[in-house]
Amino acid sequence: MNTQMIPADETRMANAIRALAMDAVQAANSGHPGMPMGMADVATVLFNRFLTLDPAAPDWPNRDRFVLSAGHGSMLLYAINHLLGYDDMEMDQLRAFRQLGSRTAGHPEYGHAKGIEVTTGPLGQGIATAVGMALSERLGEARFGDLIDHFTYVIAGDGCLMEGISHEAIDLAGHLGLGNLIVMWDDNRITIDGATGLSTSTDQEARFAAAGWHVMACDGHDPDRIAAALAEAKADPRPSMIACRTVIGFGAPNKQGSHDVHGAPLGDAEIAAARVRLGWDHPPFEIPEDVLAAWARVAARGARARADWDKRLQASPLKDALNAHLAQDMAPLTAAMAPYKAQLLADKPKVATRKASQMALGVVNAALPFTIGGSADLTGSNLTQTTGQASVKPGDFSGSYIHYGIREFGMAAAMNGIALSGLFRPYGGTFLVFADYARPAIRLAALMGVPSVFVMTHDSIGLGEDGPTHQPVETLASLRAIPNLTVLRPCDALETAEAWEIAMATTDRPVLLALSRQGLPLLRGDADENRTANGAYLLREVADRQVTLIATGSEVEIAVAAADALAAEGIRAAVVSAPSFELFAEQPEACRRAVLGTAPRIGIEAAIRQGWDAVLRQKDAFVGMTGFGASAPAPALYAQFGITAEAVAEKAKSLI
């Protein structure tokens, strides 16, 4: 492999990345210089010859996407964005690398700075999210032709490919034939512990090929070979993986090729030696004019492409349709939901909330053309596909329903990529207990503020015979612990319709719907306002209440029955339906006090008590689970674990 300096402008363009990475990590006394230095040549060729974006219009819909899946090498992206001229990535931001309040966090954070397409902290999620981005482009192209015709490029490292989610991602991408997805693997054969041979013997090229990818290899320090590989990748109809053989820390004469350069500053002496080795005779954080001009030409090429696209958009008969997708106006849904909810009140259906979700989704999907649904191989259980919703298939992306396969984590990450595209609003389903498989992507959605909608059915011991492995007694508590995630557990068909209104109107965070398997009666008698949006509300009020029964989901029915039993004994019990602790916490304190009252409270949920401190005080009681469930029909389980109206009534009498 050629490890000599490459010729022409690209040499200095790449060395600018290396110098900035060395200097920023050294100034912070923290960071990862090895990957940016090793992949600087690959990234330079990619941006200089292929990738199209406009730093002056960072949200241009048809820009190419660049995903740094190996997010620890964040200085690669920060250096490039500075050199391209993003107006919020000035040199002071690089000097403040990893410091409090800077845009240059240790890993790229979506929303912190322009030109960062996705948060890629945990390894593997970048490549999986990129699958969603590439899929969104294919879906967009099927609807809008050449107005949406960009590529998604990924730089991934050994860690990304070792993580299990990478298998889910590459399998799905290969199956769907996402030819607009190109992954450049930083094949430097080094991990934190040392050589990759310590922990893996996988032939990654064979692995990708087996999943239906187009696979190539190149010298990651030879610009013409890099360019040839990228050109071949763009021309192939399959997703492409380019194994870029690189030297980690390239240019640091005494440390390159070693794990010592992976995650620690090089030190002043090694940086000085590297500057000599690279022929970089410039002080720290100083970039010469010729290099800045070379990178400016990349930005100018992107600006011309964006201007040409704007002209095509203005002349296109699809202009209004595309703008509607981008605007994602919810007014049609509001208009359609009003008569639907009125009909629910008239019909009073007793249905599982998973079925009520499908009913509401029929309204959502008919009103909003930009929804994209799916399920992790549980369509018939999650009920996430509605009438007339065609499946997305290899070679045919005109449908709006994705069969994600048994890939919960991969599905959730791909959904985040679809949401980040800005063209579509994704929702996807699985069982609530399998949220544990998808949790890292749900967490990243919350961290980024991405409006993915997670549809989680079979939400309690009420699923019955599948037993404790499938009964999510602790899952709700763990999900409620994730900041910036709205969890909704509706009690009937009307609350479920309101939950879908909330989910689709929410733009700054993900929403998770926890839905029942068992049928539930309609408990509400009005639909004048979206009461679910309050998080908790008085379903039944009484004068001078003696006890307040607070329940969620399927247990609201139990609370109502308990209140009836107590009333028969002359005990005044109010009933509060609390579909979302998060939304309730956002209400004014006076509103919360009015709902909860001062009387003793009893929380009722077929799950553990943890997390109920949002509405319960230490002296209050809880009727729910204290351990795992069992395999039996749902009624037997509720009786076995004491989650019954009789148990609630007895608890209330003991409190009073």
Determine if residue 8 is left, alpha or beta; phi over 0 gives left, psi from -120 to 50 gives alpha, anything else beta: left
* pLDDT on residue 517: 98
- The β-bridge relationship of strands 194-195 and 401-403 is unpaired
Nearest to 160 by CA among 132, 131, 120, 194: 120
* pLDDT on residue 431: 98
Residues of the chain with pLDDT under 50: 1-8
HEC string of 353-366 equals HHHHHHHHHHHHHH
Find residue 373's DSSP bridge partners: 401
* pLDDT on residue 364: 98
Instruction: Give the count of alpha carbons within 13 A of 495, CB side only.
Output: 34
* Helix 74-84 / helix 289-315 crossing angle, nearest 10 deg: 80
The tens digit of pLDDT for each residue in 17-74 reads 999 999 999 999 999 999 999 999 999 999 999 999 999 999 999 999 999 999 999 9
Which residue is listed with tokens 């939950």? 499
Three-state DSSP class for 31? coil
Give all strands (DSSP E) within 289-343, no chain letters. Answer: none
* pLDDT on residue 399: 98
Stated as kind and residue range, the H or E segment containing 17 is helix 9-28
What CATH number is given for 534-655 in this structure? 3.40.50.920
For the chain, give the mean pLDDT.
97
* pLDDT on residue 1: 38
Q: Do domains 9-310 and 331-520 have the same CATH topology?
A: yes
Report d(CA 140, CA 422) in Å as an integer: 10
For 439, residues 6+ apart whose C-beta sits below 8 A from its C-beta are 478
Q: Which two tokens stand for residue 412?
A: 């959730």
What CATH number is given for 331-520 in this structure? 3.40.50.970
18 contacts 255 by C-beta, under 8 angstroms: no
Q: What is the DSSP string of 618-644?
A: TTSEEES-SS---SS-HHHHHHHTT-S
Pick the catalytic residue from 408, 495, 498, 605.
408
Active site residue 117: no
Find residue 427's DSSP bridge partners: 453
Report d(CA 418, CA 111) in Å as an integer: 16
Report d(CA 354, CA 384) in Å as an integer: 9
The tens digit of pLDDT for each residue in 89-128 reads 999 999 999 999 999 999 999 999 999 999 998 999 999 9
* pLDDT on residue 5: 39
> 9-310, superfamily in CATH?
Thiamin diphosphate (ThDP)-binding fold, Pyr/PP domains (3.40.50.970)
Angle CA 73–421–361, to nearest 5:
130
Domain boundaries, the chain: 9-310, 331-520, 534-655
